[in-house]
Amino acid sequence: MRLTLDITDLAPGGEGVATAAGRPCFVPFAAPGDRVEALVPEGDGAAHAELARVLEPGPGRVAPPCRHFGPAFEGEEDRLCGGCEWLHLEYPIQLRQKERALAEALRRIGRLEPGSYPLRPAVPSPRPLRYRSRAKFHLDRERARLAFFRRRSHLPVPLRECHLLLPALDELREALGPALARARLWPREVALEWSDHARRGAALLRFASVGEGERRRAEEVLRDVPALGGLLLEGEGDPRRKPAPFALGNPVLRVERVPGAPERGLARTRPDVFQQANRFANATLVDLALDLLRPDREEVLELFSGAGNFTGALAARARSVAAVEGQGPALELARLDLEGRSVRFFAGEALALGAAFAREGRRFGAVLLDPPRDGMKGMGPLLRDLAVPRAVYVSCDPATFARDVRGALGAGYRLGVAVPVDMFPQTHHVECVALLERAT
């Protein structure tokens, strides 16, 4: 049914919130203060509606710059892109919503009421647009283009532009899709990365399996796209048993740790190793985490050190760093970058190695943790067993962040400060940083 709705709020997942006959309605592409016409499914309970048109725009609505953003009507196959959620919202509104999302997760899951701990304003991204240096795509075989999926579907959006990507990465995306089609190479997923410093890119191509045919045709692609410095070919399967990706050319890129400031150091990266996509905001994140941690002249334990995103900055200030990481390729890149520095690397699972340090009586002045999205269950007891006076916890998921912070409080720590950091403008995603201090 077609209804007129007044949008009063934003949901944690990014949709506008309205009420229709007592039912909560979630409307994508709507902004607080909008009056909209929406298609609302019949039934009871919460409804996920479709935006038909905006009757009266709210005060925070802006014109989205991208042709692929927003609701799609009949015949509009290039709309409803799932890459963005908030291109229609003023950036300060996005930041305030991310502050709310973190506070609500800490209240609901962490059982910390607002005002019971310091919560800083959200740290903005230096670039709200054109900030991504890496992204994952799907190959639209019919149109020979790299595509994002439509919102809540597996239908491809035939991209002509993406306002989240660095301009050069967008150009590489535009060139690579047709090159793959010409070579008759059909990967299931394509991960692209770009380095402004190296002025070239690299790609990871995922297939069901990789044989001689894929390798030969990938060589054609590498010759066909001058901006592509290297390729990695990966077959699907059990991640514990599958071989390392097959490399063509040089898929390792050198990037500036602080974009525009090569004197602050370079780092190695490649598309199959996790790195933050927003290098501009990441530089801010690293500085913030170290300022909270105060690692100067301390022995520091870093868990989930990855390819050394924080490790290099830690090594410049700490007496020594024990860096723990389970992913082999990431460790390899970090070792190459930080050879000769006061860092000792440990390959293995973070909780197990941390517990081993505690049993050995190893003591650290500070701990830095940057786990993947599922967080680190058992973080609080581990910090207690290590008797560490303070730790900084970096998370990309408010729910697991709040859960783990609650565990740390139960283990005798207090939340010194929580800071939301905007690594992904135009989406609801938010990075969370916490200083945890041992209660006296």
Residues with catalytic annotation? 396
Burial label, 20 (beta-carbon count in 10 A; 0-12, 13-18, 19+): middle
Residue 280 DSSP one-character state: H
Burial label, 327 (beta-carbon count in 10 A; 0-12, 13-18, 19+): middle
Q: Which residue has the tokens 């609701």?
A: 71
Quote the Cα angle for 65-66-67, to 5°.
125
* Cα end-to-end span (Å), the chain: 59
Residues pairing with 6 in the sheet: 35
Do the beta carbons of residue 232 and residue 207 sit within 8 Å? no
392-429 per-residue burial string, b: 16 or more CB within 10 A, e: under 16: bbbbbbbbbbbbbbbbbbebebebeebbbbbbbbbbbb
Q: Which residue, 141, 227, 210, 236, is CA-closest to 180?
A: 141
Query: What CA–CA distance (Å, rounded) separates 331 from 305?
Result: 8
Burial label, 133 (beta-carbon count in 10 A; 0-12, 13-18, 19+): buried
From residue 201, alpha-carbon distances to 108, 174, 177 in Å are: 42, 13, 14
Q: Give the pair of three-digit tokens for residue 305.
A: 């050190």
Query: What CA–CA distance (Å, rounded) separates 91 from 60?
Result: 9
Do the beta carbons of residue 69 and residue 145 sit within 8 Å? no
Among left, alpha and beta (phi > 0; psi -120 to 50; other), residue 199 is left
Do the beta carbons of residue 328 and residue 306 sit within 8 Å? no
Q: Give the pair of three-digit tokens for residue 376.
A: 């680190």
181-194 per-residue burial string, b: 16 or more CB within 10 A, e: under 16: bebebebeebbbbb
